[in-house]
Structure 1
Amino acid sequence: MTITPRVLTRVFRIFWCCEHGFNARGLTVFLVVILTLAGPGQAQQIRDSVKVGYMDAAPLTYQAENGRAEGVFIELTRRVAEEAGFDLEFEYLPVTRAYFYLRTGGIDVWPGLTDVPALEGEVLETFVSPMPIQLSAFGMEQQQPVSHFNDLRDKTLILISGYTYGGLAERLEQTAGIAVTEAPNHRAAVAMLSRGRGDYLLDYQEPVKAVLEEFPVQGVREYPVRIRNTAWIFSLANPRSSQLRDAFDDAYLRLAERGEVPEPRTFSKGFQLPGLADLL
């Protein structure tokens, strides 16, 4: 039987009249009757909803022209949530607001990066990491290659506004000999680099590759800086954060066993540009 608002109202009125207002016994019986009428099919339609915050990091996460959340990490999030039995509500956010919402409970989860200093003590990260993401220094061909952190000294670096780069942005701003300028997004950052408004662009590999595929710029060179880990980051402001995190972990492992998602990665610091460890 389908529980419609009309059916629910009728059953409620019957028990209200019989009990002259619910007491504990009446409420218990009422709930049992509702669950019995609903049956297993109706119960399966009742699913928890999880609010997901995401940002502009195409092709991993981005908002399509129709307003729908898209991207490799978004689709993976949908598959894991479906396996775990959750419905998802997506909200497109600037980076700083996403961090604020994670701290305050405005969103439940962010498909993003681990070890963000601004979120320390405010979030739980999944134990599985579906993919790595590379932070790189991009420069025009006339600039010298970057093989050591010292190669960035006495240079101007273009950063994406709001990105913390795992705490690296703040350290760079405090480092003598390094000037920092900001771009509002990845496309603008590549344009600034091509016009000589900075010596190097510090950005993640996949978003820059996506920009260059759409708007080719000749002579851009890429130099690896750091490998970081992706994960699902849950807000501790949600009292169910640990249950949600465990549900996502378990769901991902089941999907991996069936070969439907990549094998979970081992968390590690991975590659770091020589000399970078002294700064972090």
Structure 2
Amino acid sequence: MPHAHAAPAEQTLVIGYYDFPPEIYTDSEGVVRGPVIELTHRVLEEAGYHAVYRQLSSARLYLGLIDGSVDLWVGAAGKPGLAEHTLESRNDLGRTRINLYFRPDTRPPRIPEDLIDKELIVLGGYSYSRDLSDLFDSTRMALRLRRTGTHDSALQMLLHHRADYMLGYQTPMQEAFRVAGVEPLPHLTLQDIPIRFIISRHARDSESLRDALDKAYERLGEASAGLPRPSARAGGPLP
């Protein structure tokens, strides 16, 4: 059994998250659950840190990492706007896939030409890579974006022909298919992004914290094949 390595003064970290079931979510009793939290808890315990978990909107979470009110997030690497304000763990904790979904009666689109002057459903509150954002904002593409708040509502919009395509993260889309009782829709994977610990540069001893989490993750991986791995079955958890 690995032994926890004490952090300076038993430091308590503020861990930011937003609901992204089934990977991370707040249950009916207000308790945060899911494999992302299990993994985070194991690694922090091994590294000798305490944690408090704070549920936030994605915009508030990113702002918290920038201003230092949030110490840590487990999420997609390379977020536009966060690079100069955060450090990323060296270890990849999983992968997250961003897919373009379409109805079975639609032929697989060619990217980008078949998206020109089409309607695309996107999830409000989520951010995407610079490449995808530039694609959406291109005047030449003339894409008409249809925003909604959840993967469930996005699925219903597509099924009811309220747009041509839908952009979604693979894991919650699989959950949406299950809840709706429909077969998974055909899709193209646009990006496959590593999931890492994202650490605010304003966190106390941020570089030491990053190193401690990496080393703890590696020790746990060497000691046990049972270390939780977010969404190994579905391409990773968080946006």
TM-score by length of 1: 0.73
Structure 2 counterpart of 1:152: 115
Deviation at 1:177, TM superposition (A): 2.7
Larger radius of gyration: 1
AA at the equivalent of 2:116 = R
Using CA pairs under 8 Å that are at least 6 residues apart, name the structure with larger relative contact order, 1 or 2: 2
- One of 22, 34, 58 as aligned partner of 1:59: 22
Deviation at 1:254, TM superposition (A): 0.2
Structure 2 counterpart of 1:141: 104
Deviation at 1:109, TM superposition (A): 0.3
How many percent identity over aligned positions?
30
Unpaired segments of 5 or more residues in structure 2? 1-5, 230-239
Structure 2 counterpart of 1:184: 149
Structure 2 counterpart of 1:269: none
AA at the equivalent of 1:186 = H
Q: CA separation in 1, counterparts of 2:109 and 2:218?
A: 38
Q: CA separation in 2, counterparts of 1:56 and 1:187?
A: 13
Unpaired segments of 5 or more residues in structure 1? 1-42, 265-280
Change (3 A) 1:261 1:122: farther
AA at the equivalent of 1:249 = D
Matched, 1:120 2:83: yes
Q: CA separation in 1, counterparts of 2:36 and 2:92?
A: 11
- One of 184, 190, 197 as aligned partner of 1:225: 190
Structure 2 counterpart of 1:77: 40
Output one character per residue of 1:206-257: Cα deviation in whole Å (capped at 9) or x when no partner: 0100111122235722221110010000011223211111111000000111
Structure 2 counterpart of 1:165: 128
Give yes or no for contact 1:141–1:219 (8 Å, CA) kept in 2: no
3-state SS, counterpart of residue 38 of structure 2: helix
Q: CA separation in 2, counterparts of 1:250 and 1:132?
A: 20
Deviation at 1:169, TM superposition (A): 4.9
3-state SS, counterpart of residue 61 of structure 2: helix
Deviation at 1:47, TM superposition (A): 2.7
Moved over 4 A (4+): 261-264
Matched, 1:106 2:39: no
Equivalences for residues 29-48 of structure 1 within 5 A = 47-48=10-11
Structure 2 counterpart of 1:211: 176
Q: CA separation in 1, counterparts of 2:43 and 2:58?
A: 23
3-state SS, counterpart of residue 165 of structure 1: coil
Q: CA separation in 2, counterparts of 1:145 and 1:100?
A: 37
Q: CA separation in 1, counterparts of 2:84 and 2:164?
A: 35
Output one character per residue of 1:44-67: Cα deviation in whole Å (capped at 9) or x when no partner: 9x7321110011222222222221
Deviates more, 1:71-80 or 1:216-225: 216-225
Equivalences for residues 188-207 of structure 1 within 5 A = 188-207=153-172
- One of 245, 250, 261 as aligned partner of 2:215: 250
The RMSD of aligned alpha carbons is 2.2
Change (3 A) 1:59 1:171: same
Deviation at 1:114, TM superposition (A): 0.4
AA at the equivalent of 1:151 = D
Change (3 A) 1:124 1:86: same
More helix by share: 1
Q: CA separation in 2, counterparts of 1:202 and 1:68?
A: 29
Matched, 1:49 2:12: yes
Q: CA separation in 2, counterparts of 1:262 and 1:181?
A: 39
- One of 205, 211, 219 as aligned partner of 1:240: 205
Q: CA separation in 2, counterparts of 1:208 and 1:61?
A: 14
Give yes or no for contact 2:119–2:163 (8 Å, CA) kept in 1: yes
3-state SS, counterpart of residue 224 of structure 1: strand
Q: CA separation in 2, counterparts of 1:227 and 1:130?
A: 13
Structure 2 counterpart of 1:174: 137
Deviation at 1:154, TM superposition (A): 2.5
Count of aligned pairs between the two proteins: 221
